[in-house]
Amino acid sequence: MFGGTVRGRKTTLRVPADADLEAHKRWAADMRIRRAGPVGRWHEPAATATWKERWTEQAKDKSSVLWSIAAADQLVGYARIHFDGAPHADGISIDQFVIDPEHARKGYGWDAALTLHRWAFDFMNLRLAAIDRVAADDVGRQRILERLGYVRFGHGHGVYYRDGAYVDQYLYQMERDTWNERWPDEREYPPLGEDSER
């Protein structure tokens, strides 16, 4: 399915629009993104018609959510999550999280990541978020995850081959309790408790 609007300070997760397809085509062919990013068909170059087919399938898929990431009136990336254990999911896996290299180092990745996790933990009240395809040399992604509160729980050896050498892979996860402790002011809604007004 396509995600609704979730606003951050610098970015907004919004419903993907047909006008976004050309950017997806460009990102999938950009070696800077392909080298650092995840694998799978969402990360493979394809014609516009193929991307339209992918989006049609995505709109029907109730086990995952796709957002475009916008900053003001610019499209700067996209995020896609998968519900773990759907239809009774209590966690998500971050399947894709891409920021256009032309918009790197502007704080968009951090802001969009924080916004996505506010949706997961506060709006959806999920228990766990995980990401299992982080290259060991992708220091920027690791910094964002660790700043959010993720902990590394797995290490795959020699998973990626590039530039003539094998690169390891890390697996990260974060629980809702960690999010609540670390980010008490990042709430979509005020907490409900016994003393809350009804």
- The pLDDT tens digits for 58-100 are 999 999 999 999 999 899 999 999 998 766 789 999 988 999 9
Element (DSSP H or E) covering residue 171: strand 165-175
Sign of CA pseudo-dihedral 103, 139, 98, 148: negative
Separation of first and last alpha carbons in the chain: 32
> Domain limits of the chain?
6-182
- The pLDDT tens digits for 20-39 are 999 988 888 887 777 665 55
Q: Is the distance from CB of 129 to CB of 136 less than 8 angstroms?
A: no
- Averaging pLDDT over each range in 21-25, 46-50, 172-176, which range is the top one? 172-176
The CA angle 168-39-49, to the nearest 5 degrees, is: 165
Q: What is the pLDDT of residue 41?
A: 54
At the top level of CATH, the class of 6-182 is: alpha beta
